[in-house]
Structure 1
């Protein structure tokens, strides 16, 4: 019995205690943040670790000056961003999807696909009037769309 007790004590002394970090499973590729609007609406987002507020602005319209946010600030697990409830009515030429483009008055599915194809082949739009380089968008069409788009 004594021998068993000695073996057990030796075993316990060789085992190091597990720290909180050893026990907790950590997902180092994604973090969760919360977006709160003026109307107390909550939106949970799962984003890549080390994302900045500037990265979030591609998904959600953010007025950096009004909210005093530093666009280069890195976000951490559990961070909360307070934003206006009103979303931007403009569609980003550089981040919009097919469905986003189709929400623009005057753009159908074919034109939306042409814009996506142009972006894929030529890279991001550098200025708004680069949209005129897309087949089917001339000066007149561009003037109709100009108030509905952004970079």
Structure 2
């Protein structure tokens, strides 16, 4: 019979494998969800067109940067891939980072934005005023989750006239 592992044990084993395999890697990706925390640490996601990797750069390392990172920027980073055990997620702890230009995803977004602006879709005369009270609210969540039940419960008490559209 197979022995039973705790969540902590399996996470520690995965961490051990990652720590031993990816001690120093170079990774190129595009920054998204950038947060420069009050502690001085930087938290963000590195991504390409197929995958995402959580990233952290601690204050002691990011104080040596020669540029200010921001969303949409393409970067080359050096660091180690490890597991943040408290959440059970793998991430790269970055020691060095250099700018590599604007990312392809950001450039595609900007190109689309310019195209839509040229079509006049962002023009002030096309914008409609927001209603004082919404008639319909869209919710993007699981159709069976507690969050949806909470929203329905509160709306039934505070705004029973509001229609809810749910999209998983």
Structure ID, larger Rg: 1
TM (normalized to structure 2)?
0.21
User: Greater helix share, 1 or 2?
Assistant: 1
User: Greater strand share, 1 or 2?
Assistant: 2
TM (normalized to structure 1)?
0.23
